[in-house]
Amino acid sequence: MNFYIVDDDPAVPMILRRIIEQNMNNTVVGESSDSTKAFAALAQLNVDIVLIDLLMPGMSGIELINKLRQIRSDLHFIMISQVRDSELRAQAYEAGIEFFIDKPINLIEVKTVTEKVIQSIQMSHKLSNIQSLVSGVSVTDDHQTQQLKNNQKNANFGRSPIPWNCL
């Protein structure tokens, strides 16, 4: 997975990079201490997950997420902050973050949260692949089409095509 880190504290990206890149499948493709520069970079880079500070000079993390959502609906966000204000956290979730990591940075929390987001992305990709495979099925025989519809109907309602009392 490709990560991008946005935080105005220079120590935080350094720590996060070390934690994230311990997994050889993860790469930090960029980092920024400025929201405007991060926006420009994230509009162009191949990024899956953005770790973003809540309170940034100029544009807040929430504002940045809202702007990015307009052009990149594929990005996944993890918010990082020492702010404990429940209203600000609620706004972050409404903007589209998946998890909140508290500062100071905790190794186990970062690993756990990033792994959960990675698993979520991988599951979404698998489901998309399954959907494209299923929608690509063409059945020409009317009997087969009806049988497929009946099976789907029974699966949707949790009923067996064979009545239980006949078993």
Report DSSP state, residue 43: T
Is the residue at 147 inside a domain? no
Is the residue at 61 inside a domain? yes
| Number of domains composing the chain | 1
- pLDDT tens-place values along the chain, 167 residues long: 999 999 999 999 999 999 999 999 999 999 999 999 999 999 999 999 999 999 998 899 999 999 999 999 999 999 999 998 999 999 999 999 999 999 999 999 999 999 999 999 999 989 988 888 888 754 444 444 455 454 454 444 443 344 434 44
CB atoms near residue 23 (< 10 Å): 13
Is the residue at 97 inside a domain? yes
| pLDDT at residue number 40 | 96
Is the residue at 138 inside a domain? no
Which domain does 52 fall in, by range?
2-131
CATH number at residue 15: 3.40.50.2300
| pLDDT at residue number 39 | 97
Which residues, at least 6 apart from 85, have a Cβ–Cβ distance to it below 8 Å? none
Is the residue at 70 inside a domain? yes
